[in-house]
Amino acid sequence: MDIVIIGTGNVAHCFGHLLKLHGHQVKQIVSRTLSHARELAETLNATYTDDLLDIALDADVYLLAVSDTAIAELNDQLRLGKRMVAHTAGAVPMSAISRISINTGVVYPLQSIRKEVKNYPPIPVMLEASNDEVLKRLQALAQGISSSVAVATSEQRLKYHLAAVLCNNFTNHLIAQAKAYCEREHLDFSLLHPIIKETFDRLEKYPPESVQTGPALRQDETTMSLHRELLAGDEYLQLVYQVISDAIYQFYHR
Ligand SMILES: NC(=O)c1ccc[n+]([C@@H]2O[C@H](COP(=O)([O-])OP(=O)(O)OC[C@H]3O[C@@H](n4cnc5c(N)ncnc54)[C@H](OP(=O)(O)O)[C@@H]3O)[C@@H](O)[C@H]2O)c1
């Protein structure tokens, strides 16, 4: 299939490279920043532009891999008639691109994607389409990205997105907070690498609720109050500590 990608960030890089690997042709990269468009286009052997008026009109699919807020702007600016257009966002309904084309869809990667990471992890893909013809084409396209492709409504996709934020964004942020804390206290963060690895490795064998440990689960008020004292100079982290401890307690003891 011939594809035009609008956007040059994490998802544009990932989809562009995976689709090319699977024999699709990325015809053109479109970005508001010409240098970004050129950089990605050169790695994909594609043409590029920073002008929506120069968009190639003979592609099979147009992928909007732009930030969520930019999707609304493109809905105002871009007119592609009957051409198939899909965005890649979890928390944006398919209706958000309804003015661009009558044939719309969504190709949402349920994964945390960073363009620096070249060995892409498995990426479950969730599709939505305004009609069967779009769905068939997006299914063919998604097979180039993933062996796990499912159909989900905008409402379901938003719920998956929320679950993904809890699993990935929040846990990653807690680890970033732990690292910053170690640095402030002149502790060796690398000593925590094994516990971080174990946290995620064992989820492949056990359900998360069965492997919880820690003072909040044990209702160990003495330890928790010592921890809170250590966080006295960091109001935010103290709040996070308290909220998550309460959540653990409620989950197991309510
Ligand atoms: N990364 C992930 O893990 C992930 C996972 C699932 C879904 N998604 C979804 O995929 C989409 C792209 O995410 P991403 O991570 O690839 O984002 P990103 O790396 O931040 O890249 C965003 C892209 O949007 C462009 N952009 C931003 N504001 C714009 C505007 N006002 N007008 C035109 N273009 C604009 C940026 O252009 P410039 O280069 O000019 O700034 C850039 O090319 C989002 O809808 C996101 O929710 C991301």
How many angstroms does the Cα of residue 179 sit away from the middle of ligand 1? 27
The phi-psi region of residue 119 (left if phi > 0; otherwise alpha if psi is between -120 and 50; otherwise beta) is beta
Sheet of 104-109: strand order equals: 47-49, 25-30, 2-6, 61-64, 84-87, 104-109, 125-129, 149-151
Which two three-digit tokens encode residue 99?
A: 């003015």
User: Is any ligand 1 atom within 6 A of the Cβ of residue 152?
Assistant: no
Mean predicted confidence (pLDDT) in 19-28? 96
- Which residues lie below 8 Å from residue 52, measured CB to CB, with a gap of 6+? 30, 74, 77, 78
User: Is any ligand 1 atom within 6 A of the Cβ of residue 160?
Assistant: no
How much of the chain exceeds pLDDT 90, in percent? 97
User: Is any ligand 1 atom within 6 A of the Cβ of residue 90?
Assistant: yes
Which two three-digit tokens encode residue 128?
A: 């939505």
How many angstroms does the Cα of residue 89 sit away from the middle of ligand 1? 9
* pLDDT of 118: 78
Taking the C-alpha atoms of residue 89 and residue 52, their distance in angstroms, rounded to an integer, is: 20
* Residue in 11, 15, 106 to alter for ligand 1 test, most ligand atoms within 8 A of Cβ: 11
How many angstroms does the Cα of residue 71 sit away from the middle of ligand 1? 9
Taking the C-alpha atoms of residue 254 and residue 235, their distance in angstroms, rounded to an integer, is: 27
Taking the C-alpha atoms of residue 28 and residue 207, their distance in angstroms, rounded to an integer, is: 44
CB 2 within 8 A of CB 58: yes
pLDDT at 117 over 90: no
Query: Which atom of ligand 1 is the closest one to the Cα of 91?
Result: 47
Taking the C-alpha atoms of residue 240 and residue 216, their distance in angstroms, rounded to an integer, is: 13
Mean predicted confidence (pLDDT) in 131-158? 96
If one counts every other C-beta atom within 10 angstroms of the C-beta of residue 197, the result is 10
User: Is any ligand 1 atom within 6 A of the Cβ of residue 88?
Assistant: yes
Q: Across the chain, what does the average pLDDT equal? A: 97
3-class SS of residue 31: coil
* pLDDT of 254: 79
Which two three-digit tokens encode residue 118?
A: 């070249």
Which residue, chain included where needed, has tokens 């053109």?
28
Inter-helix orientation angle 235-253/221-230, to 10°: 160
* Residues 50-63 pLDDT 10s: 999 999 999 999 99
Taking the C-alpha atoms of residue 225 and residue 245, their distance in angstroms, rounded to an integer, is: 11
User: Is any ligand 1 atom within 6 A of the Cβ of residue 89?
Assistant: yes
Going from the N-terminus, what domains does the chain have, and what CATH number goes with each?
2-152 (3.40.50.720), 158-253 (1.10.1040.20)
CB 55 within 8 A of CB 44: no
* Residues 68-105 pLDDT 10s: 999 999 999 999 999 999 999 999 999 999 999 999 99
* Residues 32-56 pLDDT 10s: 999 999 999 999 999 999 999 999 9
Which two three-digit tokens encode residue 49?
A: 């532009």
Name the closest-CA residue to atom 32, ligand 1.
70
Please give the model's pTM, rounded to 2 decimal places: 0.94
3-class SS of residue 225: helix
* pLDDT of 222: 98
CB 3 within 8 A of CB 27: yes
pLDDT at 210 over 90: yes
Of 119 and 188, the structure prediction assigns the larger pLDDT to 188
Mean predicted confidence (pLDDT) in 195-224? 97
* pLDDT of 144: 85
Q: Cα 14 to chain center, whole Å? A: 11
* pLDDT of 249: 95
User: Is any ligand 1 atom within 6 A of the Cβ of residue 8?
Assistant: yes
